[in-house]
Each structure stands twice: as structure tokens, then as C-alpha cells.
Structure 1
Amino acid sequence: MSTPLLLSPSQLQQLLPDTKQVSILDASWFMPNSPRNANEEFLKKRVPGAQFLDLDEVSSPHELGLKHMIPSERHFADTCGMTKLTDCIHIYKSSSSITEAFGIEPTSHVILYDTHGVFSSPRALFMFRAFGHEKSSILDGGLPRWEAEGFPIEAKPPARTRNSVYPTPVFDKAMIRSYDQMASNSFTDLHSDPAVELVIDARSRGRFLGTDPEPRPGLSSGHIPHSFSLPFTAFLQTSTIPNSSVQYTTFLPIAELRNALVSHVGDHAEAVIQGKRPITTTCGSGMTAGVLWLGLKLLGAPNVALYDESWTGYASRASSKIEKAAN
């Protein structure tokens, strides 16, 4: 039986008694220009038993200094647990290293959430699925929805994680696109060749068209040639917690997700869903591209990849062709 991509707060609550088989991770992340600090907020309030996943730390170094790039197989395994039993013994002797691993095993059901509702948790889910950890889901609506529906909040210091063994996994390279692959694909004709990948951009329409600035100073806005604008917010709906100004996002129902895809890419939508046309998601830095990736997976699209560097990597290179007009 396959593990659902989305869980509601009530579904997560039903899983909590089995804490040995469930690992909950707060994968909150904020834009570089935001005053909020995800780890500080986690320490103040979280889903009971949750641990904090820093997506900028669980990553690989990049030649351009880009953040939250997909980690190495070994780094991912060491974040989850230890790669062999002798490592567990070594870690037990070093209290400063115990918190580096989450106590996750290959059979653990990993549930990821964020404090926006749906924002950075899909990127975290993408990472787990890319390393073959299929038993993983996101909490749809995140911490705000969990709290709004009356489920308990934890504010005491996080508990120490248990030791676990997590063998080094095999990364699915088909789920990631490199700069060279994206640049090559941008010169191809989408309409004459069914093998050409459709590229959808999760940034705002203004940044896509080059009329609004990028949040990263000195970086040009615009888009990759032949790509389509599909702001990640088009896949989401916003709710307001009663008697407050706090809002959170959740995924649209499947029928509305399909309509959103059709409205942005037209006739290509059905080919993507049926697996006849591969598709790659991109955004500013590889974060909200995860929202589009997850929305497409919810629609059943089989051939979905993510451009890890996304626009920051693409536009930082002098050799990149940047377009600013609408398709």
C-alpha cells in the first residue's frame, strides 16, 4: 500500500501513538529577506515530538554558493540515522553529535510540515522521495492548520532522538535537472518533439516577465526560454484561522489542481499527466518548485523533475539566455 503524499491533522494524530515508526520534521524555511527565524520559532512551538530539519544545512556545497542543494547520499543517510551500527556506538559516546541524526529508519513514516501551511515542506518531501524513502508525507496546512483544528502544541525543549541505523540510499538522478540539461532543453522546440521537457516556473508572474525584481540583489529577473509561468500559489488555497488574522495554505482539490495546470500550460497538461510529456519544475532557488512537483505528483504525473539550482543558478551565469516577454 502506497503512502499518501498528503496527511490531514486528524490523520497525523491517529499515527502519533506509534512514535517508534513515525518521525515528524519541521521543515520550515523563510526567504533570505524575511526577519523570521525558522529554528527559533520551532523551539517555541511545534507538533509534539517534532524535530527541526534545516534544509540549508542538509545540503551539498555549490560552486555558486547556492543554498539547499540536494545533499549527497551519505549526508542524507547521516541526517536520518547512522549508516552502520558502529556509528551508533560512536555517536552515543559523543553527546554533541547526538542531535545530528533524527533517529529515522528506512521503515519510518516521515511526516514533514512547515509554518506557512504549504511552502517548504514539499521540497523536503521531494528530498526524501528522491532518496527512495517512499514512506513520507507532508502535513497539509502545516503547523497553523494543526493548531487551528485543536490538536496539541509542544513548547518544552525537544526530546533527544533515539539511535537508528539508516543505510546509504541510492539517489534517483532522474528527479533532478542540472544547468547543462536546462540550457540544452531551452533551445529545443516543445511543439515538434514530444521528448522535449516542459518547464514550469513557480515564481510570481512579475518576476517571470522581468517586470518585478528578484529578492536576491543584483540578480536579473526574467525566465528560461520556452518555459511557462505557473506561480506555486496557483496550486494552493488560503484559509484564515477563525477570530485571528493568521492564514495558512493547503493544496487545492485534485479537480482544481488539474484546472490550474490547464489554465497555465494549455493542451500540454494532459500529456504531462499521462506521462507522454516530461516536465521540470523551477523557481527562485529550488524551494517552491517543490510545491509544483508535489501538485503534479498528486495529479498522477509520472515524469516530474526539479531544477535544483533554479533561477538563481541559471541567471547567475553570463552564458544564460534570459527572456522577459510572455510566451
Structure 2
Amino acid sequence: MTILLRSLRGTLYRRSLSAISSRAMSSTPLLVKPSELLELTKTGVTILDASWHMPNSPRKGKEEFLLNRIPNAQFLDLDEVATPNELGLKHMMPSARQFADACEYWGIQPSTHVVIYDSHGVFSSPRALFMFKAFGHEKSSVLDGGLPRWEAEGYPVETGPPLTTVKKTDYPEPSLDENAIRSYKQIAHNASLNPTDPISELVLDARPRGRWIGSDPEPRPGLPSGHIPYSRSLPFSTFLQTNKVPGSDATYTTFLPSAALHEKLVSAVGPDNAEKILKGERSVVTSCGSGMTAGVLWLGLRLLGTSKIGLYDESWTGYAARQSSIIDTGEK
């Protein structure tokens, strides 16, 4: 049975990759390595540090940026380039005007190649990439492995207050892809549908499995754990691999190779759903605690060539905070 299942998964993987190869190809890669970023700095690129840390973490992204960063990088504060929703949640998608103003401040034009990184390796940078892609800035990438990999591979860093003077640009107000974001109303309606209904979307939850089951508490006080009905658990760390920094106990994360990403997707949703997702026959929505690590799943699926992906911006914090929400627990 194990051999047969592996054979089936291998067949589905090859078939899916063949079907989506034309969509997966892009002139701008979704991921770049440190060596590739170094080459880009010779021809012109804007580098953004989008480091973000959990509310209960002592680490502060902007403070660390001033102490240690990739040369000529600028800081993207995902809590500031955002529009709070009716619940006052942070790092929600900004308005088109906010996004354009931020790009102008960073000296970005629509033709500028933007490379985004974070200080974990892969954590918050995919969320920032999602923002750029959702507003149509296709010439944008994530540095796979982020700042820790950049340093581990021996590339220079910059410390102290930034000395680079950035010339403000004009960035036309863009249009948000209406299929990129899901609202609470859409998610609640989707949860009321039979999951076999052709119009239903498959919700993938990036939180740790214990929080999805309801056995572990949420990091935000007063918020119940559990999950959206019919959602599937796919912790964001499942799509990542941990790398050791040579000569140190420090580690950083990078994305798994495509074959391994596919294997993880099949394990979470089953071979049939995985094939439909990769062929664009079933729409999928990523969610997490507050819309941050949902970006990791979004990018992992994009790396597999998936096109029909939305992101639930409020994610579990917004969903569970509403008394009208139906919350499931356990393995169902």
C-alpha cells in the first residue's frame, strides 16, 4: 500500500507540474538566493526588510534593522503600511493609496525590482510579497533564507542608522486584485457550504496543529483556539526546512524543494484535492493567526504554480473574535 501510494503521488506530481509549467514560469523569480541578490544590486534593486515578530516576542523588527541589515536595505513596517479593520486588527492590507505612498517613500517605481527579506529566514517576508503581488507589482521576490542566510554565506551587513539617501518617486495608485483577499463574510459563508460543493473553497490553516485542534491556547489573550469548519491544518513550518549556521547554534529557515512542497500538500489535503488545486480546478484560501504566516502557505503554493489562491486577511484572530462564528475543535 505504501509503495502504491508513493507511486500515485509521484504520478500526480509529474502530471500537475506538467499542467502548470506555463503558469509557474515568470521573468521575475518568486525566490532569490543571496548570490542572486548580490548580482541584482549591481543592476539596480530595492531591498526591503519586512521583519515582524509575534506580540509576545521580546524582539523588535525595526530596532534590529538599525543594528544589522543588508546594505542599502529599507524597513517595511507591516503594522504601519496597513489599514486597521473594524476590529482594529494590525497588519491588514493597506489601501491602494497607502501602498503607493509607501513605494514612493522607498523610491520604488512600477518597474523597480523589489527583494524582500526577514530576520527569521522565511516568516514575514512572504506576507510582504503577497502585498506587492496583490497590488500588481509583479517584479518582486523574497530572499530565501533572509538575513541569516545572507550572513551565513559571508555577505556584508550594514549597521547603525541608514546613510543611504532615497529619492522619492511617483507611484501611480494601483488596483487591488479582488481575488486576493477574503473577508469574514466570505469565509463564514464558505464554512456553511458542503465541502464537496464545487463552489466551496478549501481553507488551509497555517497555525500549529495544536491550536487548530483546540488543545493549545492562542498567543492572544482571551481568544479561543479551534478552527474554521472544514478547514485543513497545514502549519506554515511544514513548507520550510531548518538550516544550521556553520560554527554556531543559530538556525534559519528556507523553503523546501518543489517535490517536497508537493508531498506536504498531498499529505494535508489528499491526492485528489492536491491535483485539483495545482491544476486550478479548486480555489484555496490560506489563513493563520493574524494573516502573517498565511503568506508562507500562499508563497509555497505559488512556487508550485497554483494560481487560484486567496488569503483571509483577518485570519483566526478576526474569525474567533466574532460571537457569530462557528468554531470546530478536534480532528474533524
- Give how far 1:165 is off: 1.0
Residue 28 of structure 2 aligns with which residue? Answer: 3
Q: Secondary structure at the match of 1:174?
A: coil
Amino acid at match of 1:233: S
What is the aligned counterpart of 1:14 among 39, 45, 52?
39
Task: Give the alignment of 1:307-322 within 5 angstroms.
Answer: 307-322=312-327
- Give how far 1:18 is off: 2.2
TM-score, normalised via structure 2 length: 0.91
What is the aligned counterpart of 2:110 among 106, 111, 132?
106
Determine if the alignment matches structure 1 residue 141 to structure 2 residue 142.
Answer: no
Residue 71 of structure 1 aligns with which residue? Answer: 94
Determine if the alignment matches structure 1 residue 304 to structure 2 residue 301.
Answer: no
What is the aligned counterpart of 1:279 among 281, 284, 309?
284
Determine if the alignment matches structure 1 residue 124 to structure 2 residue 128.
Answer: yes
Alpha-carbon distance in 2 for matches of 1:65, 1:195: 31
Determine if the alignment matches structure 1 residue 164 to structure 2 residue 169.
Answer: yes
Cα contact 1:194–1:276 (8 A) shared by 2: no
- Give how far 1:67 is off: 0.5
Cα RMSD (Å) of the superposition?
0.8
Residue 20 of structure 2 aligns with which residue? Answer: none
- Give how far 1:110 is off: 0.4
Unaligned runs of 5+ residues in structure 2 are 1-25
Residue 175 of structure 1 aligns with which residue? Answer: 180
Determine if the alignment matches structure 1 residue 40 to structure 2 residue 81.
Answer: no
- Give how far 1:157 is off: 2.2
Determine if the alignment matches structure 1 residue 326 to structure 2 residue 325.
Answer: no
Q: Secondary structure at the match of 1:137?
A: strand
What is the aligned counterpart of 1:294 among 293, 299, 304?
299
TM-score, normalised via structure 1 length: 0.92
Residue 229 of structure 1 aligns with which residue? Answer: 233
Task: Give the alignment of 1:234-253 within 5 angstroms.
Answer: 234-253=238-257
Residue 88 of structure 1 aligns with which residue? Answer: none
- Give how far 1:161 is off: 1.4
Cα contact 1:201–1:230 (8 A) shared by 2: yes
What is the aligned counterpart of 1:60 among 73, 83, 87?
83
Deviations 1:65-90 (A, max 9, x none): 10000000000000001xxxxxxxxx
- Residue identity (%): 63
Deviations 1:236-257 (A, max 9, x none): 0000101111110000000000
Alpha-carbon distance in 2 for matches of 1:61, 1:228: 27
Alpha-carbon distance in 2 for matches of 1:323, 1:133: 37
Alpha-carbon distance in 1 for matches of 2:113, 2:106: 12
Alpha-carbon distance in 2 for matches of 1:117, 1:293: 16
Alpha-carbon distance in 1 for matches of 2:169, 2:43: 16
Task: Give the alignment of 1:88-99 within 5 angstroms.
Answer: none
- Number of residue pairs the alignment of both structures matches: 305
Alpha-carbon distance in 2 for matches of 1:18, 1:116: 27
Unaligned runs of 5+ residues in structure 1 are 82-100
Residue 21 of structure 2 aligns with which residue? Answer: none
- Give how far 1:120 is off: 0.1
Q: Secondary structure at the match of 1:104?
A: coil
Q: Secondary structure at the match of 2:259?
A: helix
The runs of 4+ residues in structure 1 deviating greater than 4 Å are: none
- More displaced stretch, 1-10 vs 125-134: 1-10
Q: Secondary structure at the match of 1:296?
A: helix
Residue 87 of structure 1 aligns with which residue? Answer: none
Alpha-carbon distance in 2 for matches of 1:304, 1:312: 20
- Give how far 1:293 is off: 0.2
Alpha-carbon distance in 1 for matches of 2:194, 2:308: 19
Deviations 1:208-239 (A, max 9, x none): 00000000000000000000000000000000
Deviations 1:42-73 (A, max 9, x none): 00110111000000000002111100000000
Q: Secondary structure at the match of 1:199?
A: strand
Amino acid at match of 1:203: R
Alpha-carbon distance in 2 for matches of 1:49, 1:143: 13
Deviations 1:140-181 (A, max 9, x none): 000000000011111142122112110100110100000000
Alpha-carbon distance in 2 for matches of 1:127, 1:183: 23
